[in-house]
């Protein structure tokens, strides 16, 4: 049976996702929803029928029965970014190298820049998070789950629409939580949190390591933890003092100047003030430069490095 637990890939915001194979042997992911999610089904279908980009998951088809709805997407062999960052070994994954993390960040940034600036209608995704960034067989990232996407309504100074607050805690911009104003800068904030996840390996809502703390104070947003740590960090020499905030799975194999630059970009993206956040075009430019510098750093490791050899083989 196609919809057996053996084929279950995971649970999305609005339904379960299953692995399947079409008659032409193409591997696909099938999102199965109940008809109570008709609104999200139609939104996702409309958006993905209009937008096509290498960094967005491609919609292959859809179907509906009396009480169920189905969306069929291209299959992402490596699953979600979240699974590769948070305790990956327990899920049978190898931790991501520094280069892969930068490439994934750049791919996701390009996908967001596309829906914010280059489509006929501009969209706000409203649910950017590491579980909605999927990885193909070559670890290239694609943004998924457009069920909450909203048209950016053009006004003189911003593209915004006031709505009831939806999305995932830990990724919600302060102004969106405050007044329900969904702008492209809300996606930028969430993207900043994803960058913090890539650097730290920690989840967006993190448990504080305080002994005897009450259950309320134990949970903090990763953004607040990282912003506090970065408060006195003004150049790459401070990376050593950030050791506790850098994913131990990186095993110290990263260029200090590049991890500093990514942390500074994440800090700007997660700024309290949306006006001070960069747009995704700026994020793409910065991450492109970080990727080039990281590749140069990797080359200095020499061909006998296992990290280097493995990456070249996998590219």
Name residue 34's beta-bridge partners. Answer: 68
* Dist. CA 10–CA 131, nearest whole Å: 10
**127 is an active site residue:** yes
User: Under 8 Å CB-to-CB from 227, ≥6 apart: which residues?
Assistant: 267, 270
* Dist. CA 273–CA 92, nearest whole Å: 39
3-state secondary structure of 28: strand
* Dist. CA 74–CA 140, nearest whole Å: 13
Residue of 315, 174, 202, 199 lying closest to 266 (CA atoms): 199
3-state secondary structure of 18: strand
* Dist. CA 254–CA 252, nearest whole Å: 6
Q: How many CB atoms lie within 10 A of CB 303?
A: 8
- Output DSSP code: residue 6: G
For residues 132 and 145, is the Cβ–Cβ distance under 8 A? yes
For residues 278 and 265, is the Cβ–Cβ distance under 8 A? yes
Is residue 31 marked as binding? yes
Phi, psi of 124 (to 5 degrees): -110, 130
* Dist. CA 105–CA 276, nearest whole Å: 20
What are the C-alpha distances in Å from 212 to residues 160, 208, 283? 43, 11, 40
Catalytic one of 127, 145, 187, 271: 127
**Residues with catalytic annotation?**
127
Q: Which residues are annotated as a binding site?
A: 31
Q: Which residues are annotated as a binding site for ATP?
A: 31
């Amino acid at each position: 049976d196609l919809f057996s637990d053996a084929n279950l890939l995971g649970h999305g915001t609005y339904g379960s996702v299953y692995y399947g194979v079409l008659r032409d042997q193409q591997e696909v992911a099938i999102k199965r929803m109940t008809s109570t999610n008709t609104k999200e089904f139609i939104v996702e279908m409309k958006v993905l029928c209009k937008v096509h980009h290498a960094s967005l998951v491609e919609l292959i088809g859809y179907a509906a029965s009396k009480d169920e709805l189905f969306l069929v997407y291209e299959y992402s062999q490596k699953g979600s970014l979240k699974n590769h960052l948070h305790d990956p070994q327990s899920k049978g994954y190898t931790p991501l190298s520094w280069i892969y993390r930068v490439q994934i960040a750049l791919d996701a940034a390009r996908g967001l820049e596309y829906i914010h600036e280059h489509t006929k209608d501009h969209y706000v995704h409203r649910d950017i998070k590491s579980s909605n960034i999927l990885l193909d067989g070559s670890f290239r990232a694609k943004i998924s789950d457009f069920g909450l996407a909203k048209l950016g309504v053009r006004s003189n100074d911003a593209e915004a629409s006031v709505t009831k607050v939806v999305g995932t805690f830990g990724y919600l911009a302060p102004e969106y939580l405050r007044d329900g104003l969904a702008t492209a800068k809300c996606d930028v904030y969430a993207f900043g949190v994803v960058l913090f996840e890539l650097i730290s390996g920690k989840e967006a809502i993190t448990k504080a390591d305080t002994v005897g703390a009450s259950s309320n104070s134990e949970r903090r947003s990763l953004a607040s933890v990282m912003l506090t740590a970065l408060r006195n960090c003004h150049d790459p020499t401070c990376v050593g003092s950030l050791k506790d905030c850098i994913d131990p799975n990186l095993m110290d194999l990263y260029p200090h100047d590049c991890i500093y630059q990514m942390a500074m970009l994440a800090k700007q993206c997660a700024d309290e003030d949306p006006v001070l956040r960069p747009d995704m075009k700026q994020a793409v430019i910065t991450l492109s430069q970080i990727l080039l510098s990281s590749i140069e750093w990797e080359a200095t490791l020499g061909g006998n490095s296992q990290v280097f050899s493995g990456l070249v083989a996998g590219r």
